[in-house]
Structure 1
Amino acid sequence: MEATFLGFRVEMIISALAFIGAFATVLAMALPFLQRDHRAARLRSISRAREEYSRQQRTEIEQQRRARWRPKKSVSLLQAVVDALKLERLIAPKGIKLKLVQAGYRQPYAPKVYVGLRVLLLIGFLVATFLYVTVVLEDQLIFFQKVLVLAAAPVVGFYLPHLLLVNIIQKRRKEMELVFPDALDLLVISSEAGLSIEAAFQRVTNEIEDVSPVLSEEFGLTTAELAFLGDRRRAYTNFADRTGLPAAKSLTVTLLQAEKYGTSVSQALKVLSQENRAERLSKAERKAAALPAKLTVPMIVFFLPVLMVVILGPAAIRVAELQ
């Protein structure tokens, strides 16, 4: 008689258990490969999304560039002056282009316009001063004074655009310095919330757009560069160069070191934010400590004479009445 167990043949039970064991073994061996394929599919989808986002960013930047960087007739005239006088070597130094970028002039023709404007102002100041000295002040100045004025006029015309450019750069930096600690705090919050550095930069761009359009634009450009530039170091370095802020350079160094050594980006940003806040507080304390010394001269010149008149005025009037 054949052996049975619970009404089933023993050979059938053994065959079923062997089949289940073999199936489980094959499934256990194939499961890592299936998971790896699933991970690869996720990576491919992320890569495609990243490429799509990069393409959208490039399209938006190209549209803004076409709309904003369309040269006018005056710009074309200045470019023609630079090309005619062969002044391209004055555009070559990196310092000129970097200063123009820090002032917000990122157009491709900005260096030529800047150099052409300096040359035209030099010639214009020289011609205008010569006509004014020879026609209006012909008999009022001696020869040496006329030569001195004619020599100073083109120098003033040549360096006037430079002074205006430096003034614009300083104003932009002051505006960005006021908002940068808040932007850094937003960057810390975004990174701690689990956002990537690109998404964190984009979030900061949207949040501070109404408070500081200048700093929002810089963060937006950095977001675009992080999306389509292959070298992240270059994107961070460009951000520090465009702003010219010591805090932005510290942020760049922090992000680069975090990526290089694999440390936590959110923790590094938190430490940097605390240091930035402490530095801002120390600057305010230094300004407050220097305030009494700065108020000494105005008080002596403006307040003390009035105070002396108020105190001694009635006594002087009383003495005059007694006499």
Structure 2
Amino acid sequence: MSALIFGGLATLTVLVIGALGLVLWMVVQGSRQRAHLSARVAPRMTATDLGDNAAAAPQGLIDRVAKSGKAIEGWVDPENVSATLMLQAGWRSAQAKVAWYSFQGAVPLVGIMLVIAYWLFGAEHPQKMLFLLGGGFAAFAFSVLIPRWVLRGAAEKRRARVRSEVPLFVHLLILLFEAGLSTRQAIASIVKEGGGVLPELGTEFEILLRSIDAGADTDESLKALGKLMDVEELSTVLAVLRQVDRFGGEVREPLLEALSVLEERRSLTLREKVNLLSGRMTVVMVLFFFPALLIFVAGPAFMSIIKALGDVAG
């Protein structure tokens, strides 16, 4: 019975590896066909171009891996959430996108190579096929999940940095509005002069200014920025700016009210962190400090009692 089970597992493993090999062969053949068509359309290279072609070979490999990563993303992320996360993480350049897709395409290849290496060089034992199937499933699952975790972590860290810059951004806005600047002029001044103190918001507002200069509506651009970053504090301030830009009126008092709300919320967050830290420190103290204190205080008395009992017994 066990022989039949192991035989079935071996057959299933061979089928899985064969399917993966077929997929990789199809990807390679498709890349070769595209390269052949590009070679037919592009002009012929001279002898002096051979060095550049040899130097570009690793780049072609990276492009193929990146295309595989793009295909994997289209399969695991049909709602295109990764695009929003990449924008939140600040990965807008072509190099950053190629690096991300290459990483996403390389992780499954590494998992497959590890499973094949274990199959070929792992120690022989009765449960090897079972471990191989379990390891293959785990490698497949983690190869899909690890890039998601990395991207979400990068986006969350940058959103936290944006959240920390919002109070200073509000203070600068109040000063600039009191100086008589309009909404666009205030944002342009922050981008030009405050890029060092507001690196993350400065980058986002620089893109915002380019879209406004290209003809986009200020209200819609501010709304799109708040929706993209998904930071509640920033969305509150941008809502005030949208209201002032659309209807006019006093801007100092709404910004001060929003700033007071932000400061109160930040104070509550800090108190929560302090409470969690005090609880963790209590656990550390109970585990490490109290035993040492008991040994130092009660150790001599305990040793004296043991010595007295030993003398009585002797």
Question: TM-score, normalized by length of structure 1?
Answer: 0.67
Deviation at 1:98, TM superposition (A): 0.7
Superposed CA RMSD: 2.9
Aligned to 1:275: 261
Residue 311, structure 1, aligned to residue 297, structure 2: yes
For residue 190 of structure 1, give the secondary structure of its aligned residue in structure 2: helix
Higher Cα radius of gyration: 1
- Answer yes or no: is the 8 Å Cα contact 2:167–2:262 preserved in 1: yes
Q: Identity over the aligned pairs, expressed in percent?
A: 19
- Answer yes or no: is the 8 Å Cα contact 2:66–2:104 preserved in 1: no
- Answer yes or no: is the 8 Å Cα contact 1:100–1:110 preserved in 2: no
- 1:275 maps to a residue whose letter is V
The one-character-per-residue Cα deviations of 1:17-39 (angstroms, maximum 9, x if unpaired) are xxxxxxxxxxxxxxxxxxxxxxx
- Of residues 164, 184, 199 in structure 1, which corresponds to 2:150? 164
C-alpha distance 315-266 of structure 1, shift in aligned 2 (>3 A): same
Aligned to 1:180: 166
- Answer yes or no: is the 8 Å Cα contact 1:97–1:111 preserved in 2: no
Residue 259, structure 1, aligned to residue 266, structure 2: no
Distance 2:249 2:212 in 1: 19
Aligned to 1:235: 221
Residue 76, structure 1, aligned to residue 57, structure 2: no
Which aligned pairs between 1:138-153 and structure 2 lie closer than 5 A?
138-139=124-125, 141-153=127-139
| Unpaired stretches in structure 2, ≥5 consecutive residues | 1-57
Per mean C-alpha deviation after superposition, the further-off stretch among 184-193 and 294-303 is 294-303
Residue 106, structure 1, aligned to residue 95, structure 2: no
- 1:77 maps to a residue whose letter is R
Distance 1:238 1:286 in 2: 31
Aligned to 2:45: none
Aligned residue pairs total 251
Deviation at 1:203, TM superposition (A): 2.7
The one-character-per-residue Cα deviations of 1:218-247 (angstroms, maximum 9, x if unpaired) are 232223333333311232123224433111
- 2:63 maps to a residue whose letter is S
Distance 1:137 1:196 in 2: 72
Aligned to 1:46: none
- Answer yes or no: is the 8 Å Cα contact 2:62–2:102 preserved in 1: no
Deviation at 1:78, TM superposition (A): 3.4
C-alpha distance 150-87 of structure 1, shift in aligned 2 (>3 A): closer
| Unpaired stretches in structure 1, ≥5 consecutive residues | 1-71
Residue 200, structure 1, aligned to residue 171, structure 2: no
The one-character-per-residue Cα deviations of 1:223-272 (angstroms, maximum 9, x if unpaired) are 33333333112321232244331111112222222233333233322221
Aligned to 1:295: 281
- Answer yes or no: is the 8 Å Cα contact 1:96–1:111 preserved in 2: no
Residue 126, structure 1, aligned to residue 112, structure 2: yes
Deviation at 1:157, TM superposition (A): 1.4
